[in-house]
Amino acid sequence: MTELLEILLSASFWAAAIRIASPLIFAAMGELICERAGVLNLGIEGIMVVGAFAGWMAVYSGLGLWPGVGVALLSGMAFGLLHATLTVPFGLSQHVVGLGITLLATSATYYAYRLALPQVTTPPKIDAFDPYAIPILSDLPLIGPALFTQTPLTYAAFATAALVAFVLFRTPLGLALRACGENPAAVAAQGLPVTGLRMGAVIVGSGLMAVGGAFLTMSAFDSFFFEMVNGRGWICIALVVFGAWRPGKTLLGAILFAAFDALQIRLQQTPLGAALPYQAFLAAPYILSILALVVMSRRAQVPAALMVPFRKGER
Amino acid sequence: MRLEPIPAPSLARRLGLPAFALILTALVAMGLVALAGAAPGEVAWLVLKGAAGSQFALLETLNRATPLIFTGLAVAVAFRAKLWNIGAEAQLYLGAVATVVLGTGLLDWPPAVLLPVLAVAAMAAGALALLVPTFLKTRFGVDEVVTTLLLNFVALLFVSYLLEGPLKDPMGLGWPKSPPLIDEARLPRLVEGLRLHWGFGLALIAAALVWVIQTRTIWGFEIRAVGLNAEAARFAGMPVNAVLVRTAILSGGLAALAGFSEVAGAKGALTLDLSPGFGYTGIIVAMLALLHPLGVVVAAIFVAGIFVGADSMSRAAGVPSFIADILLASALLAMVLALGLTRLRIRR
């Protein structure tokens, strides 16, 4: 018990939690935008793989770190455009298209990796983002090292969440986007382009997912591995439900989830870790996500037009 | 420009567009091959030769198609009822676990008794794996896409635990592997002397049975009705939740048979790499087959041929074998688009 307290009160534990949360925040915000506009994006897992590879490869080929993030963003937006074209104007099954995008994006990434680096056995490393201590704030006890001694990409994740919250709930564009997810016919009656708004949401959202993937290769680690995304995309979909489609709650959910993930890694080193198989700890985050879905399902405010295609002039 | 529904699409439209989709996909793949610096024509020929160029290649393709027929059927059955089972991978592994638990000496019965028992036990394990998300869907309204996806990871970790713990092979030299099945628990060959096991025969029987269930029984009618419009089905007095539960048992059981057939037929033991994504590829197979059970057999052999052919091509031409996965994922998307366009036309 004292060991648990010791872990929970250590700054390094919370620093790890914030670090683990960062890619989830990016990707979950991307998914949230898509779903708020009425499109379920199951391409998230594959788009994160693309972003992880594209950002890393761009830096490896000589680009700067921030331009690398830009490349990741664009690669995600490209797959977002494909997803949006198939699901919005054509109104095809969002389940099947999303899974198809994940399969396509993943295999295209692995193919590109093999083409770019045919001979390597261990993937090369890049100079990834370094932590940047924010002056004054980083001197605060506990939260200083936990929150304000992170890499710039983590600060960008939090800024993104704030921006998404602001745009969705404080601007006319956000109102129109949310209305697309609740009652697209009403949006069309206002003379606004439902198709364009929804496609834009999916493209921008997919870009954010790719940046979430890029965080893994450019900030959390400094290299690209197969299967490094490892279900994080699916967890983000659960996080959006857990956060009741609200950016603030989704952000908190991501941190909570990441704290749990960081905790299970640390608990493996304790006597409890010796008593239980390590697979139980690794499975815990997935099981936790499922339990969170069950608990939240009763109160969930699902966007009314989620997964409902819209064609002008049809009811 | 807008899209209009077509009430009764012509036969030419219904067949022409999917054919066009497959040609388009092949062109995309050829472009990617050219990008890798190889000659597309030669690569296509190598894939074809690797998949069906000899008796050995053809049997290899049919062996690889066997688990894909099972997972393809599992997905097709579930998707018909709009039960989004993306967890065929987990169900496959649990079926394999059940086979190994009972088939490595615990039951020592003659094959004629043991093999059916193993198959049924595997199906029960797979059905159970899908019943959990189905129950969460019907009882709490939790989306089964996410839960079945997440359970795939849990199932794989569970298998990893079993292979390093209770099911570890004492003779395995530290490699995570189960003890081998006893001889009575191995599926015999379909034809003596040819490297093709009875799992393939079982898969064909399963496809025929699913076809009979879907087209000739009230249950099959109910599955389709629930899939087309659950509200209307409920209004017509159909027990929607019961139909979903029965569909889940069938779908999970079919996916588990893939695990049973891979362990008892092909490999003889359980390892962590038993399935290179057969569960996910099952989705592609089912969609290419337009969810038709007999079409699943054709699609599975086609998909298996692409994989087997690409493996052998990759060794000869140096194009990464991931080209097969790209080809199939784009075929899936192109096919969905083609299906959508058979029912829609573009108006200016």
DSSP-derived secondary structure for A175-240: HHHHHHHH-HHHHHHTT--HHHHHHHHHHHHHHHHHHHHHHIIIII-SS--TT-STTHHHHHHHHH
**Axis crossing angle, helix B55-80 with helix B198-216, rounded to the nearest 10:** 30
B174 Ramachandran zone, left/alpha/beta (phi>0; psi -120 to 50): left
pLDDT at A300: 65
pLDDT at B118: 96
- How would residue A9 be classed by pLDDT, with cut points 50, 70 and 90? confident
Using a CB–CB cutoff of 8 Å, tell me whether A282 touches chain B.
Answer: yes
CB contact under 8 A, B329 and A230: no
> Is B266 exposed, middle or buried, given 0-12, 13-18 or 19+ CB atoms closer than 10 A?
middle
Q: Let me know: does B144 contact B133? Beta carbons within 8 Å.
A: yes
CB contact under 8 A, A107 and B140: no
Residues 6+ away with beta carbon under 8 Å from B311: B50, B321, B324
In the stretch 186-245 of chain A, residues with CB closer than 8 A to chain B read 230-231, 234-235, 237-238, 241
Using a CB–CB cutoff of 8 Å, tell me whether A275 touches chain B.
Answer: no
Using a CB–CB cutoff of 8 Å, tell me whether B22 touches chain A.
Answer: no
pLDDT at A104: 97
Q: CA–CA separation, B124 vs B120, rounded Å? A: 6
Lowest mean pLDDT among A35-49, A73-87, A297-311, B307-321: A297-311
Residue type, A310: F
Q: CA–CA separation, B17 vs B26, rounded Å? A: 14
Give CA separation, B29 vs A46, A193, B317, in Å: 19, 35, 15
Q: Let me know: does B103 contact B262? Beta carbons within 8 Å.
A: no
The model's pLDDT over A49-92, given as tens digits with 9 standing for 90+, comes to 999 999 999 999 999 999 999 999 999 999 999 999 999 999 99
Taking the CA of residue A188 and the nearest CA in chain B, the distance in Å comes to 14
- Selecting from B145, B326, B336 the residue whose C-beta is nearest the C-beta of A42 gives B145
Q: CA–CA separation, B87 vs A80, rounded Å? A: 25
CA closest to A293 among chain B residues: B142
CB contact under 8 A, B326 and A312: no
For residue B29, the Cα-to-chain-centroid distance in whole angstroms is: 23
Closest CA to A128 of A158, A160, A151: A151
Q: Let me know: does B41 contact B317? Beta carbons within 8 Å.
A: no
Mutation pick from A286, A296, A308 vs chain B, by most beta carbons of B within 10 Å, is: A286
Mutation pick from A50, A85, A104, A291 vs chain B, by most beta carbons of B within 10 Å, is: A104
Task: Tell me the count of A-B CB pairs closer than 8 A.
Answer: 125
Does residue A102 sit within a domain?
A: yes
B76-80: average pLDDT: 95
Does residue A140 sit within a domain?
A: no
Structure-derived torsion over alpha carbons of residues A142, A147, A149, A153, reported in degrees to the nearest 10:
170
The model's pLDDT over A168-223, given as tens digits with 9 standing for 90+, comes to 999 999 999 999 999 999 999 999 999 999 999 999 999 999 999 999 999 999 99
For residue A84, the Cα-to-chain-centroid distance in whole angstroms is: 18
Q: Let me know: does B144 contact B134? Beta carbons within 8 Å.
A: yes
Question: φ and ψ at B164, to 5 degrees?
Answer: -100, -10
Closest CA to B285 of B255, B260, B309: B255
In the stretch 130-189 of chain B, residues with CB closer than 8 A to chain A read 136, 140-143, 145-147, 149-151, 153-154, 157-158, 160-161, 164-165
Long-range contacts of B55-62 (CB under 8 A, 24+ apart): B55/B194, B56/B195, B57/B308, B57/B309, B57/B312, B59/B194, B59/B195, B59/B196, B60/B195, B60/B308, B61/B301, B61/B304, B61/B305, B61/B308, B61/B309, B62/B196, B62/B200, B62/B301, B62/B304
Long-range contacts of A196-200 (CB under 8 A, 24+ apart): A197/A37, A198/A37, A198/A38, A198/A39, A198/A84, A198/A88, A198/A310, A199/A81, A199/A84, A199/A85, A199/A88, A199/A89
Residues 6+ away with beta carbon under 8 Å from B282: B68, B70, B71, B72, B74, B75, B88, B255, B258
Beta bridge partners of B5: B344
Token duo for residue B200: 């393939």
CB contact under 8 A, A290 and B340: no
- Selecting from A101, A106, A297 the residue whose C-beta is nearest the C-beta of B140 gives A297
Is pLDDT at B242 greater than 80 in this prediction?
Answer: yes
B83-112: average pLDDT: 94
Using a CB–CB cutoff of 8 Å, tell me whether B35 touches chain A.
Answer: yes
Domain total of chain A: 1
Quote the DSSP letter at residue B16: H
Query: Per-domain residue ranges for chain B?
Result: 71-281
CB contact under 8 A, B328 and A103: yes
In the stretch 77-96 of chain A, residues with CB closer than 8 A to chain B read 82, 86, 89-93, 95-96
Domain residues for A89? 13-113+152-297
Mutation pick from A264, A290, A295, A307 vs chain B, by most beta carbons of B within 10 Å, is: A290
List of chain A residues whose C-beta atoms are within 8 Å of the C-beta of residue B333? 82, 86, 97, 100-101, 104
Using a CB–CB cutoff of 8 Å, tell me whether A298 touches chain B.
Answer: yes
> Is B36 exposed, middle or buried, given 0-12, 13-18 or 19+ CB atoms closer than 10 A?
middle
The model's pLDDT over B247-287, given as tens digits with 9 standing for 90+, comes to 999 999 999 999 999 999 999 999 999 999 999 999 999 99
Closest CA to B290 of B250, B327, B342, B217: B342
- Selecting from A114, A279, A312 the residue whose C-beta is nearest the C-beta of B157 gives A279
- How would residue A26 be classed by pLDDT, with cut points 50, 70 and 90? very high
3-state SS string for B118-175: HHHHHHHHHHHHHHHHHHHHHHHCCCHHHHHHHHHHHHHHHHHHHHHCCCCCCCCCCC
Is pLDDT at B103 greater than 60 in this prediction?
Answer: yes
Residues 6+ away with beta carbon under 8 Å from B2: A311, A312, A313, B346, B347
For residue A135, the SS3 value is coil
Using a CB–CB cutoff of 8 Å, tell me whether A290 touches chain B.
Answer: yes
List of chain B residues whose C-beta atoms are within 8 Å of the C-beta of residue A312? 2
The model's pLDDT over A91-140, given as tens digits with 9 standing for 90+, comes to 999 999 999 999 999 999 999 999 999 888 888 999 999 888 888 888 88
List of chain B residues whose C-beta atoms are within 8 Å of the C-beta of residue A118? 318
CA closest to A277 among chain B residues: B161
The model's pLDDT over B13-44, given as tens digits with 9 standing for 90+, comes to 888 888 888 898 999 999 999 998 889 999 99
Is pLDDT at A152 greater than 90 in this prediction?
Answer: yes
Taking the CA of residue B339 and the nearest CA in chain A, the distance in Å comes to 9
pLDDT at B7: 77
- Selecting from A92, A107, A241 the residue whose C-beta is nearest the C-beta of B340 gives A92
List of chain A residues whose C-beta atoms are within 8 Å of the C-beta of residue B153? 230-231, 283, 286
For residue A58, the Cα-to-chain-centroid distance in whole angstroms is: 20
Q: Let me know: does A239 contact B150? Beta carbons within 8 Å.
A: no
- Selecting from B3, B147, B328 the residue whose C-beta is nearest the C-beta of A293 gives B147
Q: Let me know: does A227 contact A66? Beta carbons within 8 Å.
A: no
In the stretch 70-89 of chain B, residues with CB closer than 8 A to chain A read 84, 86
Give CA separation, B33 vs B48, B137, B320, in Å: 15, 43, 9
A152-166: average pLDDT: 97
Q: CA–CA separation, B22 vs B120, rounded Å? A: 37
The model's pLDDT over B138-193, given as tens digits with 9 standing for 90+, comes to 999 898 998 999 999 999 999 999 999 889 888 877 788 999 999 999 999 888 77
CA closest to A236 among chain B residues: B146
Q: CA–CA separation, B175 vs B161, rounded Å? A: 13
CB contact under 8 A, B340 and A277: no
Question: φ and ψ at A70, to 5 degrees?
Answer: -60, -40
pLDDT at A276: 87
Residues 6+ away with beta carbon under 8 Å from B323: A111, B29, B32, B33, B36, B310, B314
List of chain B residues whose C-beta atoms are within 8 Å of the C-beta of residue A95? 84, 145
| ∠ CA A15-A21-A27, rounded to 5° | 155
List of chain A residues whose C-beta atoms are within 8 Å of the C-beta of residue B142? 290, 293-294, 297
- Selecting from B160, B323, B325 the residue whose C-beta is nearest the C-beta of A279 gives B160
Question: φ and ψ at A18, to 5 degrees?
Answer: -65, -40
Lowest mean pLDDT among A19-23, A161-165, A290-294, B276-280: A290-294
Q: Let me know: does B103 contact B118? Beta carbons within 8 Å.
A: yes
Is pLDDT at B45 greater than 80 in this prediction?
Answer: yes
Q: Let me know: does B234 contact B65? Beta carbons within 8 Å.
A: no
> Is B296 exposed, middle or buried, given 0-12, 13-18 or 19+ CB atoms closer than 10 A?
buried
Q: CA–CA separation, A185 vs A187, rounded Å? A: 5
- How would residue A299 be classed by pLDDT, with cut points 50, 70 and 90? low
CB contact under 8 A, B146 and A237: yes
Q: Let me know: does A207 contact A30? Beta carbons within 8 Å.
A: yes
Quote the DSSP letter at residue B265: I
CATH of residue A212's domain is: 1.10.3470
The helix (H) or strand (E) run that includes residue B2 is strand B2-5
Residues 6+ away with beta carbon under 8 Å from B77: B210, B214, B223, B247, B250, B251, B254, B293
Task: Say which residue the tokens 């991501």 belong to.
Answer: A254
- Selecting from B157, B284, B337 the residue whose C-beta is nearest the C-beta of A86 gives B337
